[in-house]
Amino acid sequence: MKIQVDNDKIIIYLYNYFFKNYEKKYLIDDIKKIFLRLIQYYHIEINGGYDVIVYQNTKYGTILEIIKQDELLFPNDFIDIKVKFYKNTNFYLRAKDYYIFKDYYNVKYYNGYYYINIDDVDNILKVLEFTEILYKEKDNYLDKMKLIK
């Protein structure tokens, strides 16, 4: 589990983690367990209303984007979540150095960075440390990338 905390946004990278059941009740229960872990083990203060956006990729796992919306209407120990779920999302890896992707095909280039679809990488752990994951479609720049290999 990798966690990035910005002002009102928490991004959680869950490598090889998939929600077992996509029914709303079970999905919210699993997300509540993740919230409890953030509070108990990582000492992140969480209260109020949150939008939770779940991006899932069959090769990587799951990325949660937790965005704080409002805390004024809720008591200190209350959490309200709204969940959006995206299955089979295209994840891309981005790197400054071409040699990270030299062994792969379908490498693309845009604005000083090299990109590859995570589904085209056979050993993700080999390159994950040296790359950044792009999981939102708007971050992928698909229409502007040029295929180089």
Question: In the prediction, which pLDDT does 138 show?
Answer: 60
Q: Which residues of 34-70 are buried (b: 16+ CB within 10 A; e: fewer)?
A: bbeebeeeeeeebebbbebbbbbbeebbbbbbbeeee
pLDDT digits (tens, 9 = 90+) for 62-112: 999 999 987 666 666 788 889 998 888 899 999 999 999 999 989 999 889
- Structural domain boundaries in the chain: 2-86, 92-147
Phi, psi of 85 (to 5 degrees): -125, 130
pLDDT digits (tens, 9 = 90+) for 1-39: 899 998 889 999 999 888 877 777 888 888 889 999 998
